[in-house]
Amino acid sequence: MILGGSAEARELAGRLAPRFEVTTSLAGRVNNPAVPAGALRIGGFGGEVGLRKWLVDNSIDAVLDATHPFAATITENAVAACDRLGIPHLVLRRPPWPAGDATVVSSAAEAKDAVTAQGFSRVFLTSGRSSIGAFLFSDAWFLIRVVEPMSADELPERHHLLLSRGPYTVAAETELMRQYEIEVLVTKNSGGSMTSAKLEAAAALNIPVVMIDRPALPENVSTVATVDEAQQWVIERDTAGV
């Protein structure tokens, strides 16, 4: 079973599906998600207990957690469930972006404080819908980019909402930041190439970056950084009959 919601999860499903019975699990946050190869299930499991039951009911031999680096709850639940059931488990996490000159913070609330402290008034907020609540009561103006629509009461008063999903180009990101006269970029440290163009664009325009650091992974978890390594892990275990 692949815990999905990332481009890497889709790629891994595509590589494994011809040879293994693969089910990808999605949380169901976005309408019309890109459909991976193999079977697909959508929706939460009901915490660690529900996940354990699902793994047993579906005779799962191995769990590959290829969720987004900020999806900390499902990652913790999967570690706990697999530990208790003795199911082989691997986390696929793309490497973080180098922080460079960015102001590194550990939460959306700290990001808001950093933006306020530095007196920025035009903010490009790309840190995802769950982080926007931290910016609700602010005098600044926000360009907010998210995947799914949000209601007015979830958004700061002064904003423009952009609905889109990557990948983005440096040229388009540069033009966007120029057009909206952006003074600071707020981002999670998601890593990967799909959304990294904004960092290059910000650097070229001398726009400072506030970067929300990743949540820590649970201790003693086997982790790889690439789809190749995750695929290899499955093949080796299968060959060894683990």
Q: Which residues bind ligand NAP (CB under 6 A)?
A: 3-6, 25-27, 29, 44-47, 50-51, 67-68, 70-74, 77, 128, 188
CB of 27 to ligand NAP, least distance (A): 4
The DSSP result for 134-194, as a single string, is GGSS-SSEEEEEESS---GGGS-SSEEEEE--S---HHHHHHHHHHTT--EEEEE---SSS
- Smaller CB distance to ligand NAP: residue 23 or 174? 23
Look up residue 235 and give its two tokens: 């093949």
CB of 87 to ligand NAP, least distance (A): 16
Closer of 174 and 196 to ligand NAP (Cβ): 196
Residue 118 or 193: which CB sits closer to ligand NAP? 193
The distance of closest approach from Cβ of residue 94 to ligand NAP in the complex, given in angstroms and rounded to an integer, is 12
The first and second tokens of residue 80, run together, are 């706990």
Q: How far is the CB of 154 from ligand NAP (least distance, A)?
A: 15
Q: Which is nearer to ligand NAP, 170 or 194 (CB)?
A: 194
113-117: long-range contacts, CB 8 A cutoff, minimum separation 24: 114/210, 115/140, 115/184, 115/186, 115/210, 116/140
- Angular region, 52: left φ>0, alpha ψ -120 to 50, beta rest: alpha
CB of 228 to ligand NAP, least distance (A): 20
Quick one: 20 or 70, whose CB is closer to ligand NAP? 70
Distance of alpha carbon 99 from alpha carbon 213, whole angstroms? 9
